[in-house]
Structure 1
Amino acid sequence: MAKLEKGYVQIYTGNGKGKTTAALGLAFRAVGDGMKVIMVQFLKSNKTGELNSSEFHAPNFNIYRFEKRRGFVWTLNDQEKLELKSEILQAYNFVVEVIKERKCDILILDEIMAAIYNNFLEVSMVTDLIDIKPDDMELILTGRNAPKELIERADLVTEMKDIKHYYEKGVAAREGIEY
């Protein structure tokens, strides 16, 4: 089983497609080398292909979600936003436990930037995660609008940039490709 001598903090951000896909690619590579990977998805509650794929790699790759199914953030009423914030805080507390108990080699916090951007988490909460991360654990953070404070703390930052996208021609998100 491969073991990381040194774990780094990586960020996949930007408006372009591929942030979660890049994190998943890293996850499948790591699992193939015998590492344990945990992905916690924020602001995702609908069916996605990665949920099915991860089942083939359990127990070395697990995806966790804490939110019940509901619409996009901008469609929610105040009560639904409060419920969502509570679910996101539950996910955050799970992440703290994963880190403190070193339950994996690679921890992916998918769309955590969106949780920050939508005021469900504070930037300082995520910098706290970086501070308590074991030296031999890799931490991957994804999502648009990465805050400057996190970019400064990261060891690797990749920005996905739209140059051309078929969405502009009216193509909707496709099962197996975008989700």
Structure 2
Amino acid sequence: MDRRIVQVFYGPGKGKTSAAVGQCIRAASLGQSVIIIQFLKGNDAEEFNFLEKLEPDIKLFRFEKEKESFSELLASQKKEETQNILNGVNFARKVIDTGGCDVLVLDEILGLIDLEIITVEDIIHLIELRDDYTRLVLTGQNLPEELVEYMDVISKIELEKDITVN
């Protein structure tokens, strides 16, 4: 398979990252190399620490230094974390440009547009950078209309009911 597939999981519901991770596990089971880069969740998102057990088939990267998610930080912390996040985006660019994996998941990258850390054009540039990778998976709450034409698979995740207390 030498045609790129760009897939997005977006929406207000829970499970976008889990759906993306499901794609990763499926790809790894087929012998493909997988990289996940998480944004905005801090470096202590324990719910996905189990992925470290799946290395080297699935590699997880977090560039943020603070434990808390970006939304919980003070303004002074956000400024420093913004640079760390941009380092993560640059790493994603390098992975795509060098063909560093078969499947690249950019978890919560669409949220970076909402926060004006990156632009829609930055995402388009990532998508167009290289056309011989297998799959690029993006997640986030909102999908800008300008990106729809660049997507091959779009899944909107909406919450119908939530009785959990956490």
Q: Within the alignment, does 1:114 sit opposite 2:124 as a pair? A: no
Give the secondary structure class of the aligned counterpart of 1:35: coil
Q: Residue 50 of structure 1 aligns with which residue? A: 48
How far 1:165 sits from its partner (Å)?
Answer: 1.2
Q: What residue ranges of structure 1 are gaps of 5+ in the alignment? A: 173-179
Quote the Cα distance in structure 1 between the aligned partners of 2:45 and 2:151.
Answer: 30
TM (normalized to structure 1)? 0.86
Cα RMSD of the aligned pairs, angstroms, is 1.5
Q: Residue 26 of structure 2 aligns with which residue? A: 29
Q: Residue 76 of structure 1 aligns with which residue? A: 73
Task: Work out whether residues 19 and 142 of structure 1, in 8 Å CA contact, stay in contact via their aligned partners in 2.
Answer: yes
Deviations, residues 124-148 of structure 1 (Å, cap 9, x unaligned) = 1111000103333310000101111
Match of 1:85 among 54, 74, 82: 82
How far 1:75 sits from its partner (Å)?
Answer: 3.8
Task: Work out whether residues 7 and 138 of structure 1, in 8 Å CA contact, stay in contact via their aligned partners in 2.
Answer: yes
Task: Work out whether residues 102 and 134 of structure 1, in 8 Å CA contact, stay in contact via their aligned partners in 2.
Answer: no
Quote the Cα distance in structure 1 between the aligned partners of 2:69 and 2:105.
Answer: 22
Quote the Cα distance in structure 2 between the aligned partners of 1:47 and 1:131.
Answer: 30
Moved over 4 A (4+): none
Task: Work out whether residues 11 and 151 of structure 1, in 8 Å CA contact, stay in contact via their aligned partners in 2.
Answer: no
Q: What code does the residue aligned with 1:60 have?
A: D
Quote the Cα distance in structure 2 between the aligned partners of 1:75 and 1:140.
Answer: 25
Q: What code does the residue aligned with 1:148 have?
A: E
TM (normalized to structure 2)? 0.92
Quote the Cα distance in structure 2 between the aligned partners of 1:56 and 1:40.
Answer: 16
Larger radius of gyration: 1
Q: Residue 141 of structure 1 aligns with which residue? A: 138
Deviations, residues 101-159 of structure 1 (Å, cap 9, x unaligned) = 10100000000011111111111111100010333331000010111112221111100
Q: What code does the residue aligned with 1:61 have?
A: I
Listed as ranges, the matches of 1:91-106 within 5 Å are 91-106=88-103
Give the secondary structure class of the aligned counterpart of 2:54: coil
How far 1:78 sits from its partner (Å)?
Answer: 2.8
Number of aligned residues: 165
Q: Identity percentage over the alignment?
A: 36
Deviations, residues 20-68 of structure 1 (Å, cap 9, x unaligned) = 011000100110110000000001122323222x223211210000001
Q: What residue ranges of structure 2 are gaps of 5+ in the alignment? A: none
